[in-house]
Amino acid sequence: MELANRVKQMTPSSTLAIAAKSKELKQAGYDVIGLGVGEPDFNTPDFINEAAIKALQEGHTKYTPAGGIPELKAAIANKFKQDNELDYTAKEIIVTTGAKHALYTLFQVILNPEDEVIVPAPYWVSYPEQIKLAEGKPVIVEANEKTNYKITPEQLEAAITEKTKAVIINSPSNPTGMTYTEQELLALGEVCVKHQIWIVSDEIYEKLIYTTEKHISIAQLSPALKNLTIVINGVSKSHAMTGWRIGYAAGDADIIKAMSSHASHATSNPTSIAQYAALAAYTATEDPTVDMRKVFSERLDLLYNLLEDIPGFSCTKPHGAFYLFPHIAEAVKMNQFNSTEEWVEALLEEEKVAVVPGGGFGAPDNIRLSYATSTEALIEAAKRMKRFVENHS
């Protein structure tokens, strides 16, 4: 049977491949430390779980509007007002089956064949694949340690062509953890306004910033930028609700309407119970992010300092999310491996530490480490990685 070309051109997820190998070794009885997972290691707060149970008991188990229940849209609009000084109506908000689904649906409704989307690298692994699935073309613009893994206005300007439809801005970033400043966003936004291209602002990690800087959404910087921006967010990272699959998008009413129509044929609606759980997350007085942020900040400092002692590692300290993204080209060379992928595979086989190679993020000389795990595990993982590098040197 011949598969569709859109499927054949997809690249398998490097994060899922490492997770599968790690699980296989664990099932075989090995003490594997996994630093590849992209989700908080906290349980969903009790008050959210209780709201879901109440929703079940009250019979909220039927279809909902394709774009989400009105109460949740209102709560999201209030969140935007309180956190980002942004005003959105219900017609400008769609609730989706996770933030990933919001991105996927957005690309499906704005891209025609060969339309280009500028993707700063390092990037989240699904951006290029989702663009290709919409028959668009990802245009990769590379950033590096010298620019703190952020693209410049000059790079953005140089990448724009007559086929450019949008640019993705992910701040805080997965995988680098870096954030754009207000000045940097304004400079990038000026280029976008000049060329009238859509801005896809992925802000899923906005609540997980460990510096004194406040999260800035590019949409809040001017009416012109708000008109061009589709904000993507969700409760997965902020409220430890990865499995509940509730995300959302906010922006131009015509785009949101098209996304809702598309979703009506793809999923019918986000899970009803999960929507009521998300409603509780956004309307309760409790803020579970405060405790998570404190713990993640402490782990970041710990692991960052430990990595500095590993020969051949160079790491820019991130501002947010829960990842470190060290450059390990020197270590790979010292250890006489042909690629980062080989190095990562050998580390897992010999020391039972699972990390994600950076190739899937557009940075083949880096690895991504998640510190969404215990302090003890982080200390032991760093010890094993250092031993591995030294044993192979």
- Where does a domain end: 256, 283, 310? 283
**Domain check: are 363 and 225 in the same one?**
no
**Domain check: are 160 and 111 in the same one?**
yes
**Domain check: are 131 and 236 in the same one?**
yes
* Four-point Cα dihedral 335, 26, 237, 148, nearest 10: 0
Q: Is 54 within a domain?
A: no
**Domain check: are 263 and 127 in the same one?**
yes
Q: What's the rounded Cα separation, in Å, for the pair 102 and 126?
A: 12
Q: In this model, does residue 16 exceed pLDDT 80?
A: no
pLDDT given at position 384: 98
Q: What's the rounded Cα separation, in Å, for the pair 33 and 376?
A: 10
- Where does a domain end: 246, 265, 283? 283
Give the closest residue to 138 by CA, choosing from 158, 157, 120: 120
pLDDT given at position 260: 98
Q: What's the rounded Cα separation, in Å, for the pair 139 and 51?
A: 43
pLDDT given at position 308: 96
* Four-point Cα dihedral 43, 48, 49, 55, nearest 10: -160
Our count of domains for the chain comes to: 2
**Domain check: are 108 and 204 in the same one?**
yes
Q: Is 53 within a domain?
A: no
**Domain check: are 305 and 222 in the same one?**
no
% of the chain at pLDDT higher than 70: 100
What is the chain's mean pLDDT, rounded? 96
- Where does a domain end: 252, 283, 314? 283
3-state secondary structure of 40: coil
pLDDT given at position 65: 98
**Domain check: are 70 and 176 in the same one?**
yes
Mean pLDDT, rounded, for 185-201? 98
**Domain check: are 249 and 347 in the same one?**
no
Q: Is 73 within a domain?
A: yes
pLDDT given at position 15: 73
**Domain check: are 275 and 303 in the same one?**
no
Q: In this model, does residue 166 exceed pLDDT 80?
A: yes
Q: How far is CA 109 from CA 14, 206, 290, in A?
A: 27, 25, 36
pLDDT given at position 75: 98
Q: What's the rounded Cα separation, in Å, for the pair 130 and 306?
A: 35
Range of the domain at 73: 62-283
Q: In this model, does residue 319 exceed pLDDT 80?
A: yes
pLDDT given at position 12: 76
% of the chain at pLDDT higher than 90: 92
Q: What is the pLDDT of residues 297-308, one digit of tens each?
A: 999 999 999 999
The amino acid sitting at 67 is G
The CATH number assigned to the domain holding 292 equals 3.90.1150.10
Q: Which two tokens stand for residue 312?
A: 């051949």
- CA neighbours closer than 13 Å in the CB half-sphere of residue 378: 23
CB within 8 A of 246, min separation 6: which ones?
95, 96, 97, 98, 234, 235, 236, 270, 271, 274, 275, 277, 278
Q: Is 50 within a domain?
A: no
Q: Which two tokens stand for residue 340?
A: 């980062």
Q: In this model, does residue 13 exceed pLDDT 80?
A: no
**Sorting pLDDT into bands at 50, 70 and 90, what band is 269?**
very high
Cis peptide bond N-terminal to 122, omega within 30 = yes
Q: What is the pLDDT of residues 104-114, one digit of tens each?
A: 999 999 999 99
**Domain check: are 353 and 252 in the same one?**
no
pLDDT given at position 258: 98
pLDDT given at position 37: 81
Q: What's the rounded Cα separation, in Å, for the pair 173 and 150?
A: 9
**Sorting pLDDT into bands at 50, 70 and 90, what band is 1?**
confident
Q: In this model, does residue 3 exceed pLDDT 90?
A: yes
Helix (H) or strand (E) holding 118: strand 116-121
In 10 A of CB 199, how many CB atoms?
23
**Domain check: are 333 and 230 in the same one?**
no
Q: Which of 15-29, 64-78, 283-297, 301-315 has the lowest mean pLDDT?
A: 15-29
Q: What is the pLDDT of residues 354-370, one digit of tens each?
A: 999 999 999 999 999 99
Q: In this model, does residue 44 exceed pLDDT 80?
A: yes
The CATH number assigned to the domain holding 275 equals 3.40.640.10
pLDDT given at position 33: 96
End-to-end CA distance of the chain: 48
Q: Is 55 within a domain?
A: no
